[in-house]
Amino acid sequence: MSSTQISTSLAVSENGFLFLPTTGETFTVNETGRFILRRLQEGREQQEIISSLIDEFDVEPVDAQRDVLDFIGQLRQYHLTDTQ
Amino acid sequence: MDKKKYERPVILKQQSGLMNKFGSATSTQPMTDIEGVPVAELAAAYGSPLFVLSEKKMRDTQQQCQRIFRSRYPKVQFAWSYKTNYMNAVCSIFHSEGSWAEVVSEFEFDRARHLGVRGEHIIFNGPAKSAAALEKAVRAHSKIHIDHFDELYELIEITTSLGLKADVAIRVNVDVGIYPKWDRFGFNYENGEAREALKRIAASKTLRIVGLHMHIGTYIMSTEPFRVAVSKLVALANWLKQQLAIDLDYIDVGGGLPSHNTLKGQYLQADETLPALEQFADAITAPLFELESHGDAMPTLILESGRALVDGAGYLISTVLAVKRLSDGKRAYVIDAGINLLFTSLWYKHKMVPAQPTGVMREQANIYGPLCMNIDCIQEDASVPALKKGDRVVLMNVGAYTMTQWMQFITFRPAIVLITADGSPHVIRKAESLEYVMSLEEIPPSLRSLSA
Amino acid sequence: MKIAVTGLNNTDNPAPGVPVIRALRDRWPDSLHVVGLLYDALEPGAYLADVADANYMIPYPSAGLEQLFTRISSIHEVEKFDIIIPTLDSELNGFIKLAPRLAALGIKLFLPTEDQLRLRSKDKLVDFCSAHGIIVPRNVLATSVQDLYTIAQEFEYPVAIKGIFYDAAIVNNLDEAIAAFRRMQAKWGLPVVVQEFIAGDEYNVCALGDGARTIGAVAMKKLYVTDKGKGWSGITINDPALLEIAQKTIAALQWRGGIELEFIRERETNSYYLLEINPRFPAWVYLAVGAGQNLPAALVDLITGAAVTPFEKYSVGKMFVRYSWDHITDIAQFESLTVHGALRHG
């Protein structure tokens, strides 16, 4: 699986508050969402993120897999990913 | 090491006017049990979807209503509105609280008789009573509420040929200044039709006028229409007394009181805007004291409340079948209870509460039922916490007009469980089976080979 | 004294929260702790350090009473305020219903009853006014687009189309009426009020009732009206006829709390038509303070049981000139409100 490029300028606070300086848009994200976002920003592979999510949280692998894909879909919907 | 609690990852864009997720703490409080019985156990034992009714809640509501009305007017009689929920167990609860039966068809009449309700404690309403049904009602000494002249003449004919007398009332429709106007039922007050009907009945040898009946509408959200309507019925009763020297046994004000559901298109929640039951009771009872002397006895006030008594006692347990994203990115859920079970969701925003703990992040989501029909939408833009496949939810205030208006469409109708006063669940209607649904069907011989 | 106030939404359709707080600070410059209760993270008043000492988000009225109560209880545990002054129309029903439960927490309110609130609602206004000899424009309560077709039979265009809580639009034909109807219905529900249009100048009265007496009343003529119909400057006037109608209305309602009466003085006859009764102070309430009647402070006196003597006069010819001001802040404040639902100053 490939990695997803997150807009490099996206600022994510510890509170789960997101600010995209290029557009001025703000977002809120929950704990698991922040967990995934941070790892995407670090350039981690999708599969690696899913594994670390399963290690850290009480979640079934099949749910983690589906939810990470869905979350990346949400990021794409908000144009927070750099399409390459 | 214990792993962290998982919540489906959610990101929400902040938009003006939609930046308020605070104060949602209580609505994310899950409803893990109904009257002490865990939702998970109910669903595991009886399946999902599942209707659950609370006996305690029905009795508490009925007793509270009785207190409120009896503290304002000396003689009050409730008549359980069968069409609202005619499950035998439900009717039995209301009858044991002293309610009579209010029926609108031969089918409902027979149900009441089957439960052992005395004939004179059945009020027979409705615009479509068959000759056979009228005959049954006459023989049982039930109170027949006449809807139109054709029925009046038919009833005179039936009683005359049977050589029996019948106790009757007329349904009166009055203009109370609200819309829609329910003038298709009964005899009109303002244009004098009601007086004509009463004169005709008084002239008959077989019919005895014992009451006046009205029913101004459903889910009436203010008290004034009731006050106006009862005032007009009282004026009619006083006219009866003066002109025809008739004393009434009762005045039946019908139903129409609202439940705690919020209507679609209503900005504020029902609980915030609806008058209290005490205020409705004031509006209904105050004009009754304008009745002119009825000998010693004031007529009985009859109430045919259904929705207000049973809606809050009904729950629908359902299961999330799928979590989807629509083409515009909006969240959508498919749950296993749809419009086939909740006809009422066409006009109510039924509150939906998760049955297990969730996170606090809420998304705007559409809630769809399981039917492959576009109309099968329980709610649009509901604010719900992140749910996942297999999660249970509870839809609230679904005790009225669901178990009588549900459809057997595409799939079976589910079981209904009553949690009795001692806190134990009992199936009061089994889930349908293929055998049950097909038991009424027949295949013509010429087609049988095709089905082999 | 600690007081919580709602409605810090000082946009071009301002809520009365900020001027109410300003009035209270005038009276109690040193001893007041103010808590702002917000419905939106961008309510401007929350960002100004000299308005409320602390600001908290509360759920929309449409989210339900239980949520509102729980949220207020949890804020109260921290801030321990003694009084809530709601300043918005649409939240009043809820606060009236919650009043006994809030009282149990030691929180006092001074509100009209549900019946009083209903009497003055837009769909009942004509009945109320006719019963008390107050001149009022005729109206039609529309519950469907169908009802709009009767407009032409009832009155002449233009007519005013009003949402049951807020918003109004002047429309000139059926097409505009239908568009406005749909907008009002979607936002505020049914019925939508179609009101006869009266040509003339706008006059408003800001007042306070204690359930029997009128504690104070100040009349104002709008001098500048924005394209949203909001008065952006105005001047106090003294027309005994106008004040008499206001007193009569407040007496008939036995009003408890702040109130705003909106009138049009009809061009030909010079009669005052009562357009609307708003069940709260107006956003221009500080003009009343400037003219000598600190009505918000008097409201607090009524709540605390302090002696209140009705105001007898006010300065005529006092003006308010509203202005907008770009306050500069940091994203951290916005973050604090959106993530934690709270923003404290100092």
How would CATH label the architecture of C2-110+326-344? 3-Layer(aba) Sandwich (3.40)
**pLDDT of res. B25:** 42
Asked whether the beta carbons of residue C335 and residue A16 sit closer than 8 angstroms, the reply is no
The residues, ordered by sequence, that sit 6+ positions from B435 with a Cβ below 8 Å of its Cβ are none
The dihedral region occupied by A47, where left means phi > 0, alpha psi between -120 and 50, and beta the remainder, is alpha
DSSP-derived 3-state class of residue C211: coil
Task: With a cut of 90, say whether residue B92 has pLDDT above it.
Answer: yes
Tokens of residue A59, six digits: 């979640």
Provide, rounded to the nearest whole percent, the portion of chain B with pLDDT above 70. Answer: 92
Range scoring the smallest mean pLDDT among B148-152, B241-245, B255-259, C262-266: B255-259
User: Phi, psi (5° rounding) for residue C315?
Assistant: -75, 130
Q: The complex's ipTM? A: 0.91
The residues, ordered by sequence, that sit 6+ positions from C241 with a Cβ below 8 Å of its Cβ are C272
pLDDT for B267-314, tens place per residue?
666 666 778 888 899 999 999 988 887 656 789 999 999 999 999 999
Asked whether the beta carbons of residue A57 and residue B6 sit closer than 8 angstroms, the reply is yes
Cα–Cα distance measured from residue B317 to residue B307, given in angstroms and rounded to the nearest whole number: 20
**pLDDT of res. C340:** 85
Task: With a cut of 60, say whether residue C237 has pLDDT above it.
Answer: yes
- Tell me the average pLDDT across B165-188: 86
**pLDDT of res. B334:** 97
- Does the beta carbon of B383 lie under 8 angstroms from any beta carbon of chain C? yes
Q: For B383, name the nearest residue in chain C, comparing CA atoms only.
A: C63
Asked whether the beta carbons of residue B19 and residue C56 sit closer than 8 angstroms, the reply is no
Asked whether the beta carbons of residue A18 and residue B323 sit closer than 8 angstroms, the reply is no
What does the angle CA B147 – CA B151 – CA B157 come to, to the nearest 5 degrees?
A: 150
Provide, rounded to the nearest whole percent, the portion of chain C with pLDDT above 90. Answer: 66
- Does the beta carbon of C101 lie under 8 angstroms from any beta carbon of chain A? no
Rounded alpha-carbon distances, angstroms, from residue C250 to C181, C217, C244, C281, C288 = 31, 10, 10, 13, 17
Task: With a cut of 80, say whether residue C138 has pLDDT above it.
Answer: yes
**pLDDT of res. B39:** 97
Instruction: Please name the member of A18, A27, A33 whose beta carbon is closest to the beta carbon of B9.
Output: A33
Task: With a cut of 90, say whether residue B256 has pLDDT above it.
Answer: no
Task: With a cut of 50, say whether residue B24 has pLDDT above it.
Answer: no
**pLDDT of res. B272:** 67
**pLDDT of res. B268:** 65
Task: With a cut of 50, say whether residue B49 has pLDDT above it.
Answer: yes
Q: In what order do the strands lie in the sheet with C83-85?
A: C83-85, C2-6, C33-38, C54-57, C342-344
Exposed / middle / buried, residue C271 (Cβ in 10 Å: 0-12, 13-18, 19+): middle
* Chain B contact partners (≥3 CB pairs within 8 A): A, C
pLDDT for A11-60, tens place per residue?
888 888 888 888 888 898 999 999 999 999 888 999 999 999 999 999 99
For residue B383, the distance in angstroms to the closest alpha carbon of chain A comes to: 16
pLDDT for B114-144, tens place per residue?
999 999 999 999 999 999 999 999 999 999 9
- Does the beta carbon of A70 lie under 8 angstroms from any beta carbon of chain B? yes
Q: Domain extents for chain C?
A: 2-110+326-344, 138-196, 199-321
Q: Which fold has domain C199-321?
A: D-amino Acid Aminotransferase; Chain A, domain 1 (3.30.470)
User: Phi, psi (5° rounding) for residue C300?
Assistant: -65, -40
Task: With a cut of 50, say whether residue B9 has pLDDT above it.
Answer: yes
Please check whether residue A40 lies inside any domain of the structure: yes
CB of C20 within 8 A of CB of C87? yes
- Does the beta carbon of A84 lie under 8 angstroms from any beta carbon of chain B? no
More confident residue, A48 or B329: A48
**How many structural domains compose chain A?**
1
Mean pLDDT, rounded, of chain C = 92
Task: With a cut of 80, say whether residue B221 has pLDDT above it.
Answer: no
- Does the beta carbon of A38 lie under 8 angstroms from any beta carbon of chain B? no
Cα–Cα distance measured from residue B99 to residue C4, given in angstroms and rounded to the nearest whole number: 48
CB of B426 within 8 A of CB of B357? no
Q: For A53, name the nearest residue in chain B, comparing CA atoms only.
A: B6
How would CATH label the architecture of C138-196? 2-Layer Sandwich (3.30)
pLDDT for C32-45, tens place per residue?
999 999 988 899 99
Asked whether the beta carbons of residue B323 and residue A56 sit closer than 8 angstroms, the reply is no
- Tell me the average pLDDT across C84-99: 92
Instruction: Please name the member of B2, B8, B359 whose beta carbon is closest to the beta carbon of A67.
Output: B8
**pLDDT of res. A1:** 46
Domain B86-305 is found in CATH 3.20.20.10: yes
The dihedral region occupied by B423, where left means phi > 0, alpha psi between -120 and 50, and beta the remainder, is left
Q: Which fold has domain B33-53+312-437?
A: Lyase, Ornithine Decarboxylase; Chain A, domain 1 (2.40.37)
- Tell me the average pLDDT across C8-12: 88
Asked whether the beta carbons of residue A17 and residue C338 sit closer than 8 angstroms, the reply is yes
